Amino acid sequence: MNPASDVDLRLLPQLIEHQRVRTTPVKANDFSMPLETPSAGSASAQRLTFDDGSHLFAKFAEGRAPGYLAAEANGLRWLGEAAAAVVPVLYADDAMLVEPWIETVEPSPEHAAGLGRELAQMHLAGADRFGAPWRGYIGETFMDNDPAGSTWAEWYAARRIAPYLKPSRDNGALDAADAAAIEALAARLDRLAGPEEPPARVHGDLWWGNVLWGADGARLIDPAAHGGHRETDLANLRLWGGTPLLETILAAYDEAAPLADCWQERTPLHQLFPLLVHTTLFGRAYRSQLMGLVSHFTKLS
């Protein structure tokens, strides 16, 4: 039985408050849960268990940044208009976000190829502009979705690189020379970014932990959704050890939506943003990986 079909989900806050629905904290080592990025922490996670033994997944904002869950819900709905692989929003308000509970299985080549096709379909749905009309978050930190410039390179430099340099210097993750090297790279993005493409509808935080492998296929969770460059999502799939069956995903993607020449060589450009998020949140532990990417492109000049 699906509890969503038998319970008015608008009543969930009251049902939880009065213990009519059982809640269980979700731990990071529970592989039946939507795992969060290393930067997560802006919401607590709970499994909701109903009388019939069925489950839903819920996040609770618990007084964190205003609009955090609204941004996630907006992103899920927007991405879900284009791709069935995006986990649906069952209920959302300022304090709580409810999604289906997904029991995970081992990824299969069939599901990996399906994910590649779904990503292509989602990206090709496009966006009105780079950025988004809602205030953005990634993990527990800010993400500026305002317009900037006329190209992706200009927008990426202004909204995905520059805002994270000062906080990364303030916390000691980067020194003045590091920041200057990153700024110099950002100034060259228009020559490094490849052929100009229209804004794609991107997940924005698509590392492997935000891909859940369910019995009926892969599901995308926890987005930092915005209009961006489609190569960004594909680059992020390589982060933190890489997504299982990645080459199968990419082959199916390229067949459905062929990629520009040399796109894989541009992967490090798109990984600058998540690494800057991590230097902002966690300090110097991520400096070496970040500056390694910067050094790579410096040597090419």
Prediction pTM value: 0.90
For 5-14, 34-43, 157-166, 248-257, which range has the lowest pLDDT when averaged over its residues?
34-43
Beta strand residue intervals within 26-122, DSSP E: 44-49, 55-60, 91-92, 96-100
Q: Is residue 67 over pLDDT 90?
A: no
Examine the domain organization and report whether 153 and 253 are in the same domain. yes
Examine the domain organization and report whether 284 and 144 are in the same domain. yes
Residue 1: the pLDDT is 42
Among 100, 118, 133, the domain-final residue is 100
Q: Is residue 35 over pLDDT 50?
A: no
Examine the domain organization and report whether 289 and 171 are in the same domain. yes
Residue 23: the pLDDT is 75
Examine the domain organization and report whether 113 and 252 are in the same domain. yes
Residue 207: which pLDDT band, with cuts at 50, 70 and 90? very high
Angle CA 293–270–240, to nearest 5: 70
Of 131, 136, 138, 177, whose CA–CA distance to 154 is shortest? 131
Examine the domain organization and report whether 82 and 115 are in the same domain. no
Q: Is residue 3 over pLDDT 80?
A: no
Examine the domain organization and report whether 29 and 115 are in the same domain. no
Residue 21: the pLDDT is 76
Residue 132: the pLDDT is 97
Query: Is the Cα torsion angle 281, 283, 286, 292 positive or negative in sign?
Result: positive
Examine the domain organization and report whether 199 and 84 are in the same domain. no
Identify the domain containing residue 96 by its residue range. Answer: 3-100
Q: Is residue 62 over pLDDT 80?
A: no
| C-alpha span between 85 and 87 (Å, rounded) | 6
Above pLDDT 70, what percent of the chain? 87
Phi, psi dihedrals of residue 108, rounded to the nearest 5°? -120, 155
Domain CATH code at residue 234? 3.90.1200.10
Examine the domain organization and report whether 46 and 82 are in the same domain. yes
DSSP for 142-205?
EE-----SSSHHHHHIIIIIGGGHHHHHHTTSS-HHHHHHHHHHHHTHHHHS-S--PPEEE-S-
How many structural domains does the chain have? 2
More confident residue, 292 or 61: 292
Residue 44: the pLDDT is 82
Examine the domain organization and report whether 163 and 78 are in the same domain. no
Residue 14: which pLDDT band, with cuts at 50, 70 and 90? low
Of 59, 84, 80, whose CA–CA distance to 69 is shortest? 59
| Residue 136 host element (H or E) | strand 136-138
The answer to whether the beta carbons of residues 270 and 235 sit under 8 Å apart is yes
Q: Is residue 176 over pLDDT 90?
A: yes
